[in-house]
């Protein structure tokens, strides 16, 4: 073989090796892309499932009591039975303006109420048990352009920001029957205690430990928190008015309507 032929052979061999290596690189990139794509799909599925809660609603109301029948001095102003709420209309599932709660929570609430009463205050409830259909009403509202109550309930927020995890969620502890939204009323004056914001103000000022409120407002929030905690209730840090009984029996989700007649006569839906 002449030197020229030898050089030609070497070049062809080198080119073949280059082509082989390029093919291997292409195949490697394709396989890597497929692996990454499959990985992304798996992660997406995992995140979707981890962010959702499988709910099996219960319609049996036999474990619930009407709060005012058990503790007559407690006041109620069921906002979601009215149009005076952040949506601006009566909320699904509120058939009567009554506050109801699981039987497991009533004695703890009674003890807290007695303590407040001795100090010159009465509890006023804005919301207690909340059926799942009401929570769905909140979520459905997210998908329309209605903001008629913005000035009062979320003046510093865009509507979509209410669903960022700090304020409105896809599920609610209220549906488990042991959560209360409440305030205090001064027995002598009949006026609500000043806690720094109104109920359901979607703003950082509603955070229990917000630093922008006055010292007196901070003091009253801490007073409310202390008494409720001493009686078994835990505060939701983003809402100074929100308290949930720490009880292992408060772990099921209910979807029967807020209706005193149905509860009294044990009428299930």
pLDDT digits (tens, 9 = 90+) for 171-226: 999 999 999 999 999 999 999 999 999 999 999 999 999 999 999 999 999 999 99
Confidence of residue 50 (pLDDT cuts 50, 70, 90): very low
Assess whether pLDDT exceeds 80 at residue 134.
yes
Which positions are annotated as active-site residues? 239
What kind and span of H or E run contains 233?
A: strand 233-236
Within the chain, how many helices (H) and strands (E) appear?
7, 7
Alpha helices in 71-214 (DSSP H): 103-118, 132-142, 150-153
Q: Which domain does 32 fall in, by range?
A: 1-52
Cα dihedral value 183, 186, 191, 192, nearest 10? -20
CATH number of the domain enclosing 238: 3.30.1380.10
Are 184 and 122 in contact by the 8 Å Cβ rule? The answer is yes
Domain identity same for 120 and 166:
yes
pLDDT at position 229 = 98
Is 114 contained in some domain?
yes
> What is the rounded average pLDDT for all residues in the chain?
88
Are 127 and 79 in contact by the 8 Å Cβ rule? The answer is yes
Is 269 contained in some domain?
no
Q: Report how far residue 146's alpha carbon sits from residue 144's, in angstroms, rounded to the nearest whole number.
A: 6
Domain identity same for 44 and 84:
no
Domain identity same for 108 and 130:
yes
- The structure tokens 């290596």 sit at 21
Confidence of residue 7 (pLDDT cuts 50, 70, 90): low
In sequence order, what are the beta bridge partners of 244?
A: 179, 234
Query: ∠ CA 135-140-144 to the nearest 5 degrees?
Result: 145
Domain identity same for 89 and 180:
yes
Domain identity same for 210 and 169:
yes
Domain identity same for 14 and 77:
no
Q: What is the pTM of this model?
A: 0.79
User: Using CA of residue 128, residue 134, residue 138, residue 139, what is the dihedral sign?
Assistant: positive
Q: Report how far residue 21's alpha carbon sits from residue 15's, in angstroms, rounded to the nearest whole number.
A: 10
């Amino acid at each position: 073989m002449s030197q020229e032929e030898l050089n030609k052979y070497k070049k062809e061999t080198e080119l073949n090796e280059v082509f082989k290596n390029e093919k291997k690189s292409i195949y490697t990139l394709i396989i890597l892309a497929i692996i990454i794509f499959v990985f992304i799909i798996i992660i997406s599925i995992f995140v979707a499932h981890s962010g959702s809660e499988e709910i099996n609603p219960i319609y049996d109301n036999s474990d619930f009591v009407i709060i005012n029948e058990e503790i007559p001095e407690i006041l109620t102003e069921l906002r979601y039975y009215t149009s005076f709420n952040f949506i601006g209309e009566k909320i699904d599932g509120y058939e009567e303006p009554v506050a109801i709660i699981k039987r497991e929570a009533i004695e703890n609430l009674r003890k807290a109420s007695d303590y407040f009463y001795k100090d010159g205050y009465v509890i006023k409830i804005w919301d207690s048990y909340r059926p799942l259909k009401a929570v769905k009403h909140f979520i459905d509202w997210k998908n329309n352009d209605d903001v008629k109550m913005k000035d009062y309930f979320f003046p510093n927020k865009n509507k979509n920001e209410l669903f960022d995890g700090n304020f409105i969620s896809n599920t609610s502890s209220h549906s488990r029957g042991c959560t209360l939204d409440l305030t205090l009323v001064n027995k002598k004056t009949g006026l609500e205690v000043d806690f720094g914001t109104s109920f359901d103000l979607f703003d950082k000022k509603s955070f229990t430990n917000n630093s922008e409120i006055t010292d007196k407002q901070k003091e009253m929030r801490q007073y409310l928190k202390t008494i409720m905690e001493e009686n078994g209730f835990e505060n939701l840090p983003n809402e100074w008015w929100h308290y949930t009984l720490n009880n292992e029996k408060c772990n099921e989700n209910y979807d029967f309507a807020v209706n005193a007649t149905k509860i009294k006569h044990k009428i299930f839906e």
